[in-house]
């Protein structure tokens, strides 16, 4: 099958995926698309939203429609790294001897939901780092390769911060997208109530396979990008760095630290994945702008001036993308 035919097939499957997910999850179409863009770009996603917005249900439903193995870890203050990666146990071998056997943890899956990731101490949070970057896990001196595809989708509650351990900037940078889930519309909430307070039992059908995801990840890498689009992405990220010359005055006034090169990489990958999802063969500058907020939102650190003037990170990103 040619690359052009693969793009058409992906676009068709994406439309079917939205219909199947909609059987279970009402609304959140933009979030669904952005999660899928993250997956096709072989990235990870941080979802932030108040309780009750169906974050867990959405991710579990996606794993079913994508036919991926799913694991969920509820992060708590007493969670240990071995609770994520796995543990060695002594096991008799039948000949009177005991040998160590490694029991794999929930990280050995395709789609890992790290629920309320900021509720566990940094030592345990860091157990995810090698897996997210290298797709490998090292335990007791032995390195295990995770089965592809592998995604981490972590959630956070933006309201309740007592007893939490905020993710360090370096760890946040491992996430390709930072997505904020808003409340559903009035009409969507009515539909939610109708579906969840009756005998209605949705049964979404599988649309993708594990091999499909891997194939489309390779397709994303082959999508051609015009030089002007790459230049725009790099220029956009460069403008977030207050130490650079020729950046807008408001950047120097309000940003303490800007985004690094990984942001430029994710802008291009996200734009490529988004364009083929919609049946196009090469991304435009508009595709870069479309993924700018989820890519840059957690990579810009504002100073006290921004707080005093009641400016948010999204305000800064919006100004940058409109120039």
Of 153, 176, 180, nearest to 63 by C-alpha is 153
Per-residue pLDDT at 156: 86
For residue 149, say if its preceding peptide bond is cis, omega within 30 degrees of 0. yes
Per-residue pLDDT at 26: 80
User: Per DSSP, what are the bridge partners of residue 155?
Assistant: 47
- Tell me the whole-structure pTM to 2 decimals: 0.89
d(CA 156, CA 49): 7
Per-residue pLDDT at 228: 95
Structure tokens at 92: 């008799």
Report the SS3 class of residue 111.
Answer: strand
d(CA 54, CA 242): 38
Helices 3-22 and 55-65 meet at what angle, rounded to 10? Answer: 130
d(CA 211, CA 67): 10
* Helix and strand totals (H; E) in the chain: 15, 11
Q: Which residues of the chain have pLDDT under 50?
A: none
Length of the chain: 323
How open is the CA angle 302-307-309, to the nearest 5 degrees? 115
Per-residue pLDDT at 270: 95
Per-residue pLDDT at 161: 66
d(CA 176, CA 271): 12
C-alpha neighbours within 13 Å on the C-beta side of residue 150: 18
Classify residue 236 by its DSSP letter.
Answer: H
Is residue 299 packed enough to be buried (19+ CB in 10 Å), middle (13-18) or exposed (0-12)?
Answer: buried
Structural domains of the chain, ranges and CATH numbers in brackets: 3-196+205-211 (3.40.50.300), 224-322 (1.10.8.80)
Of 149, 151, 155, nearest to 178 by C-alpha is 155
Of 200, 190, 191, 215, nearest to 66 by C-alpha is 215
Per-residue pLDDT at 246: 83
Residue with tokens 């840059």: 296
- At 211, which helix (H) or strand (E)? helix 210-222
Decide if 295 contacts 314 (C-beta within 8 A): no
62 CA to centre of own chain: 13
């Amino acid at each position: 099958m040619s690359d052009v035919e693969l793009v058409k097939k992906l676009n068709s499957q994406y439309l079917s995926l939205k219909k199947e997910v909609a059987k279970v999850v009402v609304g959140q179409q933009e979030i669904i698309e952005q999660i899928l863009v993250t997956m096709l770009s072989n990235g990870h996603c941080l979802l932030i939203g108040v309780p009750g917005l169906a974050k867990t249900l959405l991710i579990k439903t996606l794993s079913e429609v994508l036919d991926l193995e799913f694991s969920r870890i509820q992060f708590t203050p007493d969670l240990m790294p071995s609770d994520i990666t796995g543990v060695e146990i002594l096991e008799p071998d039948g000949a009177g001897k005991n040998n160590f056997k490694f029991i794999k943890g929930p990280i050995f899956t395709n789609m890992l939901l790290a629920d309320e990731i900021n509720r566990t101490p940094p030592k345990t949070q860091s157990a995810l780092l090698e897996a997210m970057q290298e797709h490998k896990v090292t335990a007791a001196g032995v390195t295990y390769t995770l089965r592809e595809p592998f995604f981490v989708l972590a959630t956070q509650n933006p309201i309740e911060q007592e007893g939490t351990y905020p993710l360090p900037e370096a760890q946040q940078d491992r996430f390709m997208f930072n997505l904020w889930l808003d409340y559903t519309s009035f009409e969507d909430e009515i539909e939610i109530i109708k579906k969840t307070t009756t005998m209605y039992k949705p049964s979404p059908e599988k649309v993708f396979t594990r091999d499909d995801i891997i194939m489309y990840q390779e397709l994303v890498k082959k999508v051609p990008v015009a030089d002007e689009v790459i230049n725009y992405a790099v220029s956009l990220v460069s403008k977030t760095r207050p130490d650079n010359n020729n950046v807008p005055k408001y950047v120097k006034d309000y940003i303490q630290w800007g985004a690094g090169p990984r942001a430029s990489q994710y802008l291009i990958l996200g734009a490529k994945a988004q364009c083929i999802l919609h049946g196009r063969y090469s991304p435009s500058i508009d595709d870069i702008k479309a993924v700018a907020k989820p890519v840059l939102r957690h990579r810009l650190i504002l100073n006290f001036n921004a707080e005093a003037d009641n400016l948010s990170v999204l305000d800064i990103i919006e100004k940058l993308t409109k120039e």
